[in-house]
Amino acid sequence: MQLFVSYARADKAVADALVADAHALGHRAFYDRELTGGQRWWDALLDQIEAAGVFVPVLSDDYRGSEACRAEAEWAQASGIPFLPVHTAAQSPGLYDPVIAEANWVAFDPASRESLADLARGLAATPPVTPPGAPLTRPPVPVTYLNTLEQQIRGVGEISRGDQLALISDLRAKLGSRDDPVARTLLASLRARPEITLEAATAINELLAVVAPTQQAGPMPAAKPTPSRPAPQPTPVAPPRAIASGGRRLPRAASLSLAAAATLLWVVATAFLPWAPYRVLDGPVRRPRVWESASIVAPTYAVLAVLVAIAISAAAVLAIYVRLPLPIRAAVAAAAAVVGIVAVVRTSTASLAVSAGSGVWAYLAAMVTLAVTTVFTTP
């Protein structure tokens, strides 16, 4: 016999156990493992309901509050599918629609062999399907408020700082409710977005660090104990990317453009622009280039300046493609800047502010640009 198991998100562990027991009894069982959404998802569920011989709702407080579960039950009733409700905690029949309230209920406990026998007897006593006399009009996809938030969080458009905080506020209100698991998943998805600010990421981390309270069932008639199987754990989410100061970072395209422009600038500065103070070098009085500096015996610092420039250019490009922690990127940028300034001073003049050539200033501008790119880029 083909079963369709209808359940709320909070009851997925019960649904998993129920399907396993149905398979052990020799029945086929379908249930939506992902509870995603969209028209194709909804059409597939309706097809499975129509093909089922029994509709098995997993009754709970969360089930009663689920719009999708209510729509599934209505479609099963319209399709003439018999109902076999199961429950793990006491439920009042008066809280459910007549098609569920008047059906033969089964108390389900995955750890009890008696419960398995009750399930087998309930399935054996299920009446046959009564096909509808005329074609049915399919109900629309059930849309909830969280669907709208999910579309915004997982969309391709950039989410502004204000919208990030508004989304966090909306999802915070869902924590502790029957939508708690979904709200936590959406908060983790929002935290993983590349434009997330430090303020928003910190707020999300604080919310996700709070363990969801266990929902207690109200006083009901005698019932089987809650199944001992542990509730499913949320899917681990990668930690947020390293965030620059204030949460503001350079997009990858802008970082590449800045790194390329700064690299070209220091190449021009060291190869073509005047560097040291005016000197006579076997010809007219002019400013020598970096490799022509006469203030030192050997061009050690000139070579050092070029090597530092190459290193900081490589560090900037590496930071764009490799997720390096912010302290490491800042240390690399600072070290390169210090060594570069020392090399510049030694190859130009002790009075840098007075008599350095334009090449020195262009070189320093390139170093500053590369350092900023290294620190603030988005990996």
Could you tell me the end-to-end alpha-carbon distance of the chain, in angstroms, rounded to an integer? Answer: 53
Both 117 and 11 in a single domain? yes
pLDDT tier for residue 286 given thresholds of 50, 70 and 90: low
Q: What is the pLDDT of residue 145?
A: 55
Q: Which residues contact 279 (CB under 8 A, 6 or more apart)?
A: 285, 286, 287, 288, 294
Indicate the DSSP class of residue 66.
Answer: -
Residue 325 in any domain: the answer is yes
Of 37 and 250, more confident: 250
Residue 227 in any domain: the answer is no
What is the C-alpha separation between 69 and 75, in angstroms, rounded?
10
Both 110 and 183 in a single domain? no
Mean pLDDT to the nearest integer, 267-276? 77
- Residue in 179, 175, 112 with CA at minimum distance from that of residue 147: 179
- Please, what is the average pLDDT of the chain? 78
Parent domain of 204: 144-213
What is the C-alpha separation between 215 and 226, in angstroms, rounded?
12
Q: What is the pLDDT of residue 57?
A: 95
Distance between alpha carbon 287 and the CA centroid of its chain, in Å?
A: 56
Both 150 and 262 in a single domain? no
Both 160 and 261 in a single domain? no
Distance between alpha carbon 38 and the CA centroid of its chain, in Å?
A: 20
Cβ contact 179:215 at 8 Å: no
Give the residues across from 106 on adjacent strands: 86
Percent of the chain with pLDDT over 90: 24
Indicate the DSSP class of residue 250.
Answer: B
- How many CA atoms lie less than 13 Å away from 249 in the CB half-sphere? 23
Burial 283-295, CB ≥16 within 10 A → b, else e: eeeebbbbebbee
Percent of the chain with pLDDT over 70: 74
Q: What is the pLDDT of residue 242?
A: 39
Does residue 259 have a pLDDT over 80?
A: yes
Both 255 and 370 in a single domain? yes
Q: How many domains does the chain have?
A: 3
- Residue in 155, 161, 368 with CA at minimum distance from that of residue 248: 161
pLDDT tier for residue 303 given thresholds of 50, 70 and 90: confident
Does residue 350 have a pLDDT over 50?
A: no
Both 293 and 344 in a single domain? yes
Residue 75 in any domain: the answer is yes
Residue 98 in any domain: the answer is yes
Q: What CATH code is carried by the domain that includes residue 51? A: 3.40.50.10140
Of 239 and 21, more confident: 21
Question: Where a domain ends, among 58, 93, 124?
Answer: 124
Q: What is the pLDDT of residue 340?
A: 72
Both 82 and 21 in a single domain? yes
Residue 278 in any domain: the answer is yes
Residue 218 in any domain: the answer is no
Both 115 and 153 in a single domain? no
Both 58 and 174 in a single domain? no
What is the C-alpha separation between 83 and 73, in angstroms, rounded?
9
User: Burial, 3: exposed, middle or buried (Cβ in 10 Å; 0-12, 13-18, 19+)?
Assistant: buried
Neighbours of 233 (CB within 10 A): 7
Does residue 267 have a pLDDT over 80?
A: yes
Write out pLDDT tens, residues 125-163: 999 999 888 888 888 877 665 676 777 888 878 898 888
Q: What is the pLDDT of residue 243?
A: 40
The two tokens of residue 88 are 């793990």
